[in-house]
Homo-oligomer: A and B are copies of this chain.
Amino acid sequence: MPGLGDLERSVMDVLWDSHEARSAYDVQNALAADSERPLAATTVLTVLSRLEKKGFVRRERVERPHRYSAVASREDHMAELMHEVLGGADDRQAVLARFVGQVSPAEAEALRKLLSAN
């Protein structure tokens, strides 16, 4: 249930950026584009397996190159993380107060709209 490591997060980013299911090779190539040294195929597979075990990634074993996809969208994931933080608070309202106190005016306005849209 812990968070994500650096490489794990990079892999999630790849899956999030291409909204379809991807093979391990796709992920490997996408990662290679960003960094000099390419990762071994097994490394990518290991990370994907760990992400699956953690519940962040879904794997389709139908075709031979298995396809992987993110369980939740990046936005849902992040919103969930924020709720997790908030969940550990005894005084949620106080935390929310501090939180909205630090958002930019533009974002405050956006929040107002979101909340009134109801």
Contact = CB atoms under 8 A, between A and B. Distances in A.
Interface in A52-108: 74-76, 78-79, 81-83, 85-86, 88-102, 107-108
Contacts of A95: 75, 78-79, 82
A114 interface: yes
A88 B101 CA distance: 19
Interface residues of A, number: 35
A111 interface: yes
B115 A102 contact: no
A92 B107 contact: yes
A40 interface: no
Contacts of A114: 96-97, 100-101
